[in-house]
Amino acid sequence: MIVIVGGGPAGAAAAITLARGGAAPLLLERDAATREKVCGEFLGADAAAALATLGIDLPALGAVPVRRAVFAAGGREGRFELPFVAWSLPRLVLDEALLRAAEAAGAEVRRGVAVAAASEDAGGWTLRLADGGVQRARHLVLATGKHELRGLGRGAGAGSIGLKLPLAGVPIGDAIAVLACAGGYAGLQPRAGGGANLCLALKPGAPGLAEAARDAAALVALVSAGSRAARDLLRDAEPLWQRPMAVAAVPYGYVAPAESRAFRVGDQAAVIPSLCGDGIAMALGSGIQAARAILAGHGAATHQAAWGAHVRPGMRVAGLLDSALARGPRMVATLAGWAPGLARWAARQTRLGSPGA
Ligand X SMILES: Cc1cc2nc3c(=O)[nH]c(=O)nc-3n(C[C@H](O)[C@H](O)[C@H](O)COP(=O)(O)OP(=O)(O)OC[C@H]3O[C@@H](n4cnc5c(N)ncnc54)[C@H](O)[C@@H]3O)c2cc1C
Binding stretches for ligand X (CB under 6 A): 5-11, 28-31, 37-42, 114-115, 143-147, 149, 162, 187, 199, 201, 247, 250, 266-267, 274, 277-281, 283
Q: How far is the CB of 115 from ligand X (least distance, A)?
A: 4
Report the residue number, 146 or 292, with the smaller CB distance to ligand X. 146
Judged by DSSP in three states, 190 sits in strand
Report the residue number, 111 or 228, with the smaller CB distance to ligand X. 111
Phi, psi of 19 (to 5 degrees): -65, -40
Report the residue number, 75 or 317, with the smaller CB distance to ligand X. 317
Q: What value, to the nearest 5°, has the Cα angle with vertex 354 and ends 72 and 113?
A: 95
Q: How far is the CB of 315 from ligand X (least distance, A)?
A: 13
Q: How far is the CB of 117 from ligand X (least distance, A)?
A: 9
Report the residue number, 42 or 80, with the smaller CB distance to ligand X. 42
Distance (Å, whole) CA 321 – CA 180: 13
Distance (Å, whole) CA 92 – CA 23: 27
Report the residue number, 37 or 191, with the smaller CB distance to ligand X. 37
Q: How far is CA 109 from CA 3, 93, 186, 309, in A?
A: 10, 17, 34, 31
Is 63 within 8 Å of 90 (Cβ atoms)? no
Tally of CB atoms within 10 A around 331:
13
Distance (Å, whole) CA 123 – CA 87: 43
Phi, psi of 115 (to 5 degrees): -95, 125
50 CB contacts (<8 Å, ≥6 apart)?
13, 281, 284, 285, 288, 353, 354
Check residue 255 and report its DSSP letter: B
DSSP strand pairing (108-111 vs 26-29): parallel
131 CB contacts (<8 Å, ≥6 apart)?
113, 114
Q: How far is the CB of 185 from ligand X (least distance, A)?
A: 10
Report the residue number, 247 or 339, with the smaller CB distance to ligand X. 247
Distance (Å, whole) CA 55 – CA 94: 12
Report the residue number, 14 or 333, with the smaller CB distance to ligand X. 14
Q: How far is the CB of 156 from ligand X (least distance, A)?
A: 13
Q: How far is the CB of 23 from ligand X (least distance, A)?
A: 19
Q: How far is the CB of 269 from ligand X (least distance, A)?
A: 8
